[in-house]
Structures are given as structure tokens and as C-alpha cells.
């Protein structure tokens, strides 16, 4: 696929004013429809932009390649992050959107974290569900108080708590306003995630300005 072509995606226009749009970024094996129900539940009436990852792993869509579980191809991650950021800029012009809040799960959360570090101007904030640090040596970034919610699972067999804590520390060091919460669950999403994200988003109406 040509890097300049838009991602396969779905866009649901806002039906209520006063909310930032959400950029929905699925996990491994998901697609552009995967997180729409979650987005509708946590931000009723908000615009939803949901692209499909362009990388395939055993036939399953992802946003970037990995060398093994928890070991990322950082060259590919960097390239794919810029491609995704360019798509968001295209979509903002096409659909007349303000800067979105990224809401990513697992692989989608990891590329959202990479976007915060490489292209922070594209996002107004981020919700990172089951995220880990995307870079061994994070690039310098200036996040200027950008709000970020990280939600980890205390029984997650894939992401060590120390790794998620390192991501939180990296973003705090870059100036983000980070809330890091851990839920008594595994890698999958739960109703507790939904409630936590919904409440966090509801406290941030100014992001839609």
C-alpha cells in the first residue's frame, strides 16, 4: 500500500458538541470496527476515527512489526508512527476535526505512545490500555501538560508492571499529565476499564475546544 493513501478506516461523525474526537487504535488481530463499541460507550456523541493497522502478523492486522512478544522492530515502529500521524492530519482536514484523543489497546496503545513521543502535536491526549514502553531509548519530546491515562492489568501476563511504569515515567519526564491506574485484571479489557476511561474523559471537556 502506498504510504500516502489513507488507511482503511471508519469515521463516525459527532452527534453531540463539546467533546474531543477519539482516535481508536485496535490491538493485534482487530480492525477498524473493533473498538467502535468501546468508543461509543466511553464517549457518547463524540466523533470516532478508527483506522486499521497496515502490518500483518500471521494474517492478523497490527500497526507495526515486532520481532518477538514484547520486542518491537523500532525502525518499523518509527516509520509506521509517522504514517499514522500523517493519516490523522489528513483525516482532520477531510472531516474537519480538532486534534483527537488517542484511545489505544495493546498494540494500538503502543503506537499511540510512540506518537506522543514522535509526533505529539497530532494528539490532544491519550488513553493507553495495556501499553508498554515502545522504545528502549525513548526520543526526547515536549508534551506540555498533555493529559494521558495509562490503564494496566495487575494480572497481565504480557506486560510487566515495571514496563508500564517505565512508560509512565517517560511521559511524565516529557511533561505529560499522566494518571497511571492498575486494575485487578489481565490483558483483556473489562467493564472496569470502560468505567475508568469514561470518567476520565468526562473530566476533560476543554480538550474539545
The Cα–Cα gap between 5 and 78 comes to 18
Q: How far apart are CA 92 and CA 46, in angstroms?
A: 14
CA 5 – CA 21 distance, rounded (Å): 22
Q: Which residues are catalytic?
A: 106, 156, 187
- Composition of the chain by helix, strand, coil, percent to 5: 35, 20, 45
What is the Cα–Cα distance from 176 to 147, expressed in whole angstroms? Answer: 6
Those residues with Cβ within 8 angstroms of residue 133's Cβ, 6 or more apart along the chain or in another chain: 113, 163, 164, 166, 167, 170
Element at 79 (helix H, strand E): helix 74-95
SS3 at position 74: helix
27 burial type by CB count under 10 A (0-12 exposed, 13-18 middle, 19+ buried): buried
Amino acid at each position: 500500500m502506498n504510504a500516502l493513501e489513507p488507511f482503511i478506516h471508519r469515521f463516525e461523525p459527532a452527534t453531540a458538541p463539546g467533546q474531543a474526537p477519539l482516535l481508536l487504535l485496535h490491538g493485534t488481530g482487530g480492525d477498524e470496527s473493533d473498538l467502535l463499541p468501546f468508543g461509543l460507550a466511553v464517549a457518547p456523541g463524540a466523533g470516532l476515527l478508527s483506522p486499521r493497522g497496515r502490518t500483518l502478523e500471521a494474517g492478523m492486522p497490527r500497526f507495526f512489526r515486532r520481532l518477538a512478544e514484547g520486542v518491537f522492530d523500532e525502525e518499523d515502529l518509527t516509520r509506521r508512527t509517522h504514517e499514522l500521524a500523517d493519516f490523522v492530519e489528513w483525516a482532520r482536514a477531510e472531516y474537519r476535526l480538532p486534534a483527537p484523543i488517542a484511545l489505544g489497546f495493546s498494540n494500538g496503545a503502543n503506537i499511540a505512545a510512540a506518537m506522543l513521543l514522535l509526533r505529539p502535536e497530532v494528539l490532544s491526549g491519550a488513553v493507553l490500555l495495556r501499553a508498554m514502553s515502545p522504545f528502549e531509548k525513548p526520543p526526547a519530546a515536549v508534551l506540555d501538560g498533555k493529559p494521558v491515562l495509562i490503564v494496566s492489568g495487575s494480572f497481565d501476563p504480557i506486560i510487566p508492571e515495571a514496563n508500564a511504569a517505565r512508560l509512565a515515567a517517560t511521559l511524565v519526564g516529557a511533561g505529560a499529565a499522566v494518571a497511571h491506574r492498575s486494575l485487578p485484571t489481565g490483558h483483556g479489557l473489562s467493564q472496569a476499564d470502560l468505567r475508568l476511561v469514561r470518567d476520565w474523559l468526562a473530566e476533560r471537556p476543554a480538550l474539545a475546544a
